[in-house]
Amino acid sequence: MTFSSAETSTQDGRPIALYTLRWGNTYWRYTSADSDVDGTEVIGGIVTPVTYSARAVQDSGMVQGSGNQNDFTMDCPASLPIVDLFGVTPPAGTIWMTVRRKHIGEADTPIYWIGTITNVKRLNLGEAQVIGVPLTASFARTGLRLCWTRECPHFLYDMDCKVNEADYREEGVISAVTPSTVTVTMIPMPDQYFRGGYIEWAANADGTMDRRMIESQEGNTFTVFGLTERMTVGLAVNVYPGCDRSPQTCKDKFDNIDNYGGFDFMPGESPFGINLF
């Protein structure tokens, strides 16, 4: 029997769901079945055997509507690792979720839903809810973002900026932590040199990187956006400087003025007679 036959059958269908959550190199796989389910996934272009762990999970199903009516929710035990990740400060980077449907005894596992996780909330002591938005939600975003501005519109270290972040990486070890600051033992740099940059570290043995943006820096003490949860004394970190998007900083700090995307000499009055600056 094929998946379609089992899906449309009034008595032979035995549906279960398979959930894959991916954060960087870290994967979590669960199934709504009452026992673990073996399957395969394509990882890095290679068909890889995987196991979906049986957990008390269920989802809201796929709906089409407007606004948050498109949200996909997965109810799960509060003991899952992803629940703790969203406990105080959410992890950096995108967490993808892929949901497959399967009928017990059938090999087919078509993808039912794919999207990104936006939030995880605890419903009570033992239950939580994972909330995601579909991949199609990104289709409504503005495609072209570049415009004529005085400041550079590029993101530091991106494909338009072209600065190689590895050339400016400084390595260190956290020596002190407060709720909003960390002190890093490393080569000293001038105050605010790293402002607007970020600190990253390996979040687990899989090599998935977590990050905090740097709000300000005095000496080797950094104030970060959000809280310092998951940052501990003795943790090895990489620290990257930031950019204020001015041509002077682009030239003097990064020697990258050829790729500067701003127009510092724009006139202060528009052709329509409105004084802009």
Give tens-digit pLDDT for 69-98.
568 999 999 999 999 999 888 998 899 999
- pLDDT score of 145 more than 60: yes
Q: Do domains 3-137 and 165-259 have the same CATH topology?
A: yes
- Residue 41 is given by DSSP the state E
pTM above 0.85, yes or no: no
- What's the mean per-residue pLDDT of the chain? 89
- Domain ranges, ordered by start, for the chain: 3-137, 165-259
Q: Provide CB contacts within 8 A for 266, sequence distance 6+.
A: 148, 149, 150, 277
Assigned fold of 3-137: Thrombin, subunit H (2.40.10)
Mean pLDDT of 186-215: 95
Q: Give 215-224 pLDDT, tens digit per residue.
A: 999 999 999 9
Mean pLDDT of 117-135: 93
Lowest-confidence segment of 10-14, 44-48, 96-100, 128-132 by average pLDDT: 10-14
Mean pLDDT of 190-211: 95
Helix, strand, coil percent content, the chain, rounded in steps of 5: 10, 40, 50
pLDDT over 90 percentage in the chain: 68
pLDDT band of 271, cuts 50, 70, 90: low
Mean pLDDT of 27-50: 93
Assigned fold of 165-259: Thrombin, subunit H (2.40.10)
Strands 46-54 and 26-31: parallel
Can you tell me the distance from the alpha carbon of 44 to that of 85, in angstroms, rounded to the nearest whole number?
Answer: 25
